[in-house]
Amino acid sequence: MAATIKSVAEMAGVSIKTVSRVINKEGTVKPDTLQRVEEAIKALKYTPNKAARDLASKGASVLGYVYDNPNAYYIIDMQKGILDVCRKNNFELLIHPCDASSKNIAKELVDMVDTAQLAGLILSPPLSEMPEVLSELDQNQISYVRILSGDGPFPSPLPYVLV
């Protein structure tokens, strides 16, 4: 069974909050207590649960890649490139194929961001070029990066990547 923050706290003889302070390097823990907690973490081989930390901090570390492109090679290449960058920056990637012609596509994307607690979206064409989708994302204060076809420059102040 994997070690938990509770088992670390019990072994070190401290509260869960104290273990949390040590993990988050808050600096408000006495040196002898800090040492006991660090020894318990090492002895139990405890690693914090990333999903739980994200929920507790309300800091999302997942991006959504949204596409409607039937070309499998395009999608595979895009996913590989996006995954490489996500991994380097400690992000996970939720891949979401969709039907851009759906009349509820903008609402579908907003609901997905809310439900999955995404940090933002990466939009491929044609979604990245649909004013109604971009407007709905802007109204809901959802961060996004647009993948656009062409060699630009585009007049948009929003982040975009040209392919």
What confidence score (pLDDT) does residue 158 get?
66
What confidence score (pLDDT) does residue 23 get?
85
Rounded distance, CA 67 to CA 100, Å? 8
Q: What is the mean pLDDT of each run of 10 residues along the chain (163 residues)?
A: 84 90 84 93 82 51 86 82 87 90 93 89 90 91 85 65 70
Q: Which amino acid would we find at residue 100?
A: A
Scanning the chain, the segments in alpha helix (DSSP H) are 5-12, 16-23, 31-44, 50-57, 72-88, 105-116, 131-139
What confidence score (pLDDT) does residue 155 get?
59
What confidence score (pLDDT) does residue 109 get?
94
What confidence score (pLDDT) does residue 55 get?
45
Verdict on whether the full-model pTM lies above 0.75:
no
DSSP state of 128: G
Sketch out the chain's domains with CATH numbers: 5-48 (1.10.260.40), 59-162 (3.40.50.2300)
